[in-house]
Amino acid sequence: MPTPVFQLRKERIFMLKGKVFINEQETCGNYKYAGIPHYMTRGFQNTFDEEAIAVAFTAFALILEKYPDNADYLQTFDYVREDGETVRFWCINDVEHATFLLPEDY
């Protein structure tokens, strides 16, 4: 079961050490990302560790900013770490919820 992303928690929130980039979507859609639960897979959580919530939240904000009215169900991102390593991840909207995952989690 994926882990809920945007729950109120007493956990410490970490600042990003790298940068999240949203990629161009392949097609336009009419999917809404606000107002639905967001989850992350264990693979996503393990890869980003203490930054996982901040990475997901940043990606969520980028979707709303770049595609406010025409977001597709699949959004792809690159996270560039401080050392230059790039990690690709996705957000898939299933209408009732959205999940942040690594391509290999699919």
DSSP string of 13-41, one letter each residue: PPPPSSEEEEPPPSS---B--TTS-EEE-
Q: Which candidate, 36, 39, 74, places its Cα nearest to that of 56?
A: 39
Query: Residue 5: its pLDDT value, please?
Result: 56
CATH fold for the domain made of 16-105: Nuclear Transport Factor 2; Chain: A, (3.10.450)
What is this structure's pTM? 0.87
Query: Residue 3: its pLDDT value, please?
Result: 56
d(CA 64, CA 55): 15
Residues in the chain with pLDDT values less than 70: 1-14
Instruction: Quote the tokens at residue 44.
Output: 């996503």
Query: Residue 8: its pLDDT value, please?
Result: 39
**What is the Cα Rg of the chain in Å?**
13
Q: Return the exposure string of 5-14: e unless at least 16 CB atoms fall within 10 Å of the residue's CB, then b.
A: beeeeeeeee
